[in-house]
Amino acid sequence: MKHLKVMLLPIALAAVSMTAMAQSNVKISGRVDLGFGNMPSDLGTGTTKQSKVDDSSTGRLNFSGVEEISADLSTFFALEMRFKADTGAQDGVLFKDKAWVGLNSKQFGQVKLGRMSSPLDAEVIAGRYEAFSGDSYASMGSRGAAMAAKWDNAIYYNTPTYSGFNAGVAAQTSEATTGTRASGQGFHVQYANGPFSTAFGYQKEQDTKYTTSGNSMSTVGFGANYDFGVATLMTTYARSSDLGLYDGGKETVFTIGARVPMGPGQFRTSYRKVDDTKIASATSSASDKDSTRYSVGYYYPLSKQTSINLSLAREKQERFNANGSTLTNFSGTGWEVALRKNF
C-alpha cells in the first residue's frame, strides 16, 4: 500500500497543477519556424551566397493568463522568450519579447507594466500592416527606422475602443545612472472598422545609433491596410530624426504590399525602401546604408496552426564614403522554403 501511495503522488501533484492552471486561465503558446534557402550573405561586402537551414522567423515560447476579478475588471500577464530553433540557442534576454503584468477595465481601459513593445512597434508598423506579417525571409529587415522595438521598465495605458478608435500613451524609465537617456515617451492612435485599419504614432527615446551618451532621437510612424476582397493593400512609413552625436541624422523606411487570395492560400508581395542620411555625423555619410527590397511569396496553410511559406526576394544595397560618394553597391536574389508551426 505504501508503495502504491508513492506511485500515485506524482499523478496527484500533476492533477493539482493542472487544476491551478485551469483556475488562473494560464496558456502556453509559441512558434517554431524553420526554412531552407539560398541567399546573399552580406550585400554590404559582395554578392556571395550561401545555402542554409535557418529561422524563417524567430522561435517563441509564450506564457500568458487572464483572471476575472469582477464583471468589469480583470488582471493579465504575459512572458515570452525568443530562441533560434535551428540551434536551440536563446535569442537575447530570457523574456526578450515581453514580460508584463496589467489590469484591464472594460469601462476605463487597460494599463500594463514591464518589458513590452514600444508604441510604434506594438500598434503602428506592426505585422498586420505588412504583407508577410513581418515574418519569413521575404520580410527580413526593419520597418521602424531607427526606433527601439522593445522598452524596458515601461508603463502603457490603452483606452477602450469607441466606434473603432483606440489610443494609448506609454513611458519608460532607465535603470542606468549614467551614460543613457533616462526616459522615453510615446503614443499611438488607431482606427479599425470593417475592411479599413490605420494607425499613427510617435516616440522619443535614447538614440539607438549613438548610445554612448544620454542623447535623444524621435520617430513618427504610420500604418494602414484596406481589404478590397480580391486583395488587401497595406503600407507602413517610419521616420527617425535627431540621430547621431550632432542630431543631424535621419532614417526613413517605407513599405507597400498586398495579399491576394489564391487557391488554398495567399500570394503575397512587398516592396521596402530604406534611406539613411548622415547617420554617423552631420558632416559624414560613412554609416549610411540605402536599400530597396522587392519580395514575392506564397502562404500555404496545411491547417489552422501549420503552414508552408515560400519566399523570393531581390535586394539592392548601397553604402557610402564619408563625403557621400558610393562605397559599395551590390544586388542579390535569395529564396526560402519554410515550415511554420504555431501552437
* Residue 10 pLDDT > 60: no
Report yes or no on 223 lying in a domain: yes
In the chain, what is the greatest distance between 2 CA atoms, to the nearest angstrom?
A: 85
Q: What is the mean pLDDT of the chain?
A: 92
Average pLDDT of the segment spanning 306-325: 96
Cα–Cα separations (whole angstroms), residue 302 to 138, 280, 306, 342? 20, 47, 5, 12
- pLDDT for 196-252, tens place per residue? 999 999 999 999 888 878 889 999 999 999 999 999 999 999 999 999 888 889 999
- pLDDT for 93-116, tens place per residue? 999 999 999 999 999 999 999 999
Report yes or no on 209 lying in a domain: yes
The span from the CA of 104 to the CA of 159, in Å, is 10
* Residue 169 pLDDT > 50: yes
Specify the pLDDT at position 113: 98
- pLDDT for 112-136, tens place per residue? 999 999 999 999 998 999 999 999 9
Report yes or no on 11 lying in a domain: no
DSSP 225-265: EEE-SS-EEEEEEEEEEEETTTT-EEEEEEEEEEEEEETTE
- pLDDT for 278-304, tens place per residue? 998 888 999 999 999 999 999 999 999
pTM (2 d.p.) = 0.88
Report yes or no on 314 lying in a domain: yes
Question: Which ranges of the chain would DSSP assign to H, the alpha helix?
Answer: 2-24, 119
- How many domains is the chain built from? 1
Specify the pLDDT at position 180: 80
Specify the pLDDT at position 23: 52
Confidence of residue 24 (pLDDT cuts 50, 70, 90): low
Of 109, 82, 84, which Cα lies nearest the Cα of 98?
82
- φ/ψ (deg, to 5) at 139: -115, 15
The span from the CA of 289 to the CA of 245, in Å, is 18
**In this structure, what CATH number is given to the domain that contains residue 329?**
2.40.160.10
The span from the CA of 137 to the CA of 127, in Å, is 14
Average pLDDT of the segment spanning 76-103: 97
Report yes or no on 1 lying in a domain: no
Average pLDDT of the segment spanning 157-182: 90
Report yes or no on 233 lying in a domain: yes
The span from the CA of 139 to the CA of 144, in Å, is 13
Average pLDDT of the segment spanning 266-279: 96
Report yes or no on 12 lying in a domain: no
Average pLDDT of the segment spanning 44-66: 96
Q: How much of the chain, in percent, has pLDDT values that exceed 90?
A: 83
Average pLDDT of the segment spanning 165-184: 88
* Residue 22 pLDDT > 70: no
Report yes or no on 217 lying in a domain: yes
Domain carrying residue 179: 48-342
